[in-house]
């Protein structure tokens, strides 16, 4: 069996091409606090992201920190640029991911209730272009919601942080997608969610397929920090490490890795894309030369990551170097 030592060595016209985008669209600025809970709150930013997505046309999109429509219900918004401004309702659809993606995507979302206020404070979503494939359990070109295939937080963990999953069908191929957004501050809660990504919830896998792509905002930097969850270390490495999953982002793109977020003047690479079967390298939009941010330079705290991947006819044979 032939050994490949870098993802860039893979190329075949016979393999399925997949363009993937992962984006945390939230905003920590004062303008998006309060009822918006630091989610995507500005209409101009929404429109900029939507236009950029239309231009790059990803096949699969992972979104974190979207606004849940219930956040607008009791908000008397006076700012006409905010997404909850009442007079915007005639011009926009009910759900933010539909406004971002349009009619050509099937969209699966997940949200958890905040019991003390009676509604969620955000949601995570996965979108699949209708020309690429379909999401199991969702109607073509529609938005649907799921309470299945999620991580299970402990009672003292913030339910707003969600790991969700979906299965996309591309012809006869079933690909598991896991959208990760584990806790940012509570290490125990974060470790628990990361562990469930790889081990499932009570032994039940998040996706029941063997070809898996995992992407999202994981809230830790494995390249600069020493606080990496143990289960991540046991399952994720560079291609050829012999570990089950390998990076398409981070050091694979550039060394040192481009930052995907800035926290208190610190640069961190916390948004990752990994898989156990695909080939290809990601690009950090707005950091890599010749690229621009999907929010046109203002409105998101994270940089989106775009990947052009190849789906091989069979699993690549990883080098066992580094075992």
The answer to the question of residue 316 being in a domain is: no
pLDDT confidence band for 318 (50 / 70 / 90):
very low
Q: Is pLDDT at 317 greater than 70 in this prediction?
A: no
N- to C-terminal Cα separation, the chain: 18
Strand partners, 145: 109
What's the pLDDT score for residue 5? Answer: 39
Calculate mean pLDDT across residues 113-141.
95
pLDDT digits (tens, 9 = 90+) for 31-68: 899 999 999 999 999 999 999 999 999 999 999 999 99
Strand partners, 236: 245
Residues 6+ apart with CB under 8 A from 148: none
Q: Is pLDDT at 11 greater than 80 in this prediction?
A: no
pLDDT confidence band for 204 (50 / 70 / 90):
very high
pTM for this predicted structure:
0.93
pLDDT digits (tens, 9 = 90+) for 284-302: 999 999 999 999 998 999 9
At residue 250, the 3 state secondary structure works out as: helix
Of 71, 78, 79, 69, nearest in space to 36 by CA: 71
Residue 38 belongs to what domain range? 7-311
Q: Provide the mean pLDDT of the chain.
A: 91
What's the pLDDT score for residue 156? Answer: 93
The answer to the question of residue 270 being in a domain is: yes
φ, ψ at 250 (rounded to 5°): 70, -130
**Phi/psi-derived region of residue 206, left when phi > 0, alpha when psi is between -120 and 50, beta in every other case:** alpha
What's the pLDDT score for residue 323? Answer: 34
Q: Order of strands, edge to edge, in the sheet holding 163-170?
A: 134-135, 163-170, 173-180, 212-217, 271-275, 245-247, 236-237
Q: Would you say 305 and 271 are in contact if contact means Cβ atoms under 8 Å apart?
A: yes
Token couple for 101: 């993606």
φ, ψ at 66 (rounded to 5°): -85, 155
Token couple for 294: 């999907």
The total of structural domains in the chain comes to 1
Q: Is pLDDT at 144 greater than 90 in this prediction?
A: yes
- Give burial (CB, 10 Å; 0-12/13-18/19+) of 103: exposed
The answer to the question of residue 317 being in a domain is: no
* CA–CA separation, 17 and 20 (whole Å): 10
Q: Would you say 186 and 177 are in contact if contact means Cβ atoms under 8 Å apart?
A: no
The answer to the question of residue 323 being in a domain is: no
Calculate mean pLDDT across residues 27-32.
89
At residue 216, the 3 state secondary structure works out as: strand
The answer to the question of residue 140 being in a domain is: yes
* CA–CA separation, 233 and 242 (whole Å): 12
The answer to the question of residue 44 being in a domain is: yes
CA quadruple 185, 189, 194, 197: dihedral positive or negative?
A: negative
**Phi/psi-derived region of residue 198, left when phi > 0, alpha when psi is between -120 and 50, beta in every other case:** alpha
Q: DSSP string of 55-110?
A: HH--SEEEEEEEPPGGGGTT--B--TTBTTBGGGGGTS-SSHHHHHHGGGEEEEEE
Q: Is pLDDT at 1 greater than 70 in this prediction?
A: no
The answer to the question of residue 1 being in a domain is: no
Q: Is pLDDT at 316 greater than 60 in this prediction?
A: no
* CA–CA separation, 126 and 168 (whole Å): 10
* CA–CA separation, 171 and 97 (whole Å): 25
CATH of the domain at 271: 3.60.10.10
């Amino acid at each position: 069996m032939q050994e490949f030592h870098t993802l860039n060595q893979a190329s075949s016209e016979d393999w399925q091409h997949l363009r993937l985008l992962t984006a945390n669209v939230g905003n920590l600025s004062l303008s998006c606090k309060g009822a918006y809970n630091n989610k995507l709150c500005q209409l101009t930013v929404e429109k900029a992201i939507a236009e950029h997505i239309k231009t790059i046309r990803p096949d699969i999109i992972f979104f974190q920190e979207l606004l849940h429509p219930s956040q607008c219900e009791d908000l008397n918004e006076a700012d006409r640029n905010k997404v909850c401004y009442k007079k915007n309702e005639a011009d926009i659809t009910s759900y933010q991911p539909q406004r971002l993606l349009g009619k050509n995507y099937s969209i699966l979302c997940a949200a958890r209730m905040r019991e003390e206020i009676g509604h969620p404070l955000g949601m995570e979503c996965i979108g699949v272009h209708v020309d690429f494939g379909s999401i199991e359990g969702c109607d073509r070109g529609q938005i649907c919601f799921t309470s299945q295939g999620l991580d299970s937080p402990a009672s003292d963990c913030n339910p707003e942080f969600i790991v969700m999953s979906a299965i996309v069908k591309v012809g006869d191929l079933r690909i598991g997608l896991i959208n990760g957004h584990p806790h940012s501050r509570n290490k125990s809660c974060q470790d628990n969610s990361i562990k469930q990504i790889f081990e499932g919830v009570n032994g039940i896998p998040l996706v029941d397929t063997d070809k898996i792509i995992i992407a999202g905002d994981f809230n830790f930097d494995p390249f600069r920090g020493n606080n990496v969850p143990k289960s991540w270390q046991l399952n994720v490495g560079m291609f050829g490490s012999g570990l089950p999953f390998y990076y398409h982002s981070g050091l694979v793109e550039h060394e040192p890795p481009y930052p995907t977020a800035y926290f208190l003047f610190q640069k961190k690479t916390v948004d990752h894309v990994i898989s156990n079967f695909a080939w290809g390298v990601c690009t950090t939009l707005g950091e890599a030369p010749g690229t621009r941010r999907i929010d046109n330079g203002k409105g998101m705290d994270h940089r989106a990551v775009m990947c052009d991947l190849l789906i091989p006819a069979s699993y690549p044979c990883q080098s066992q170097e580094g075992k």
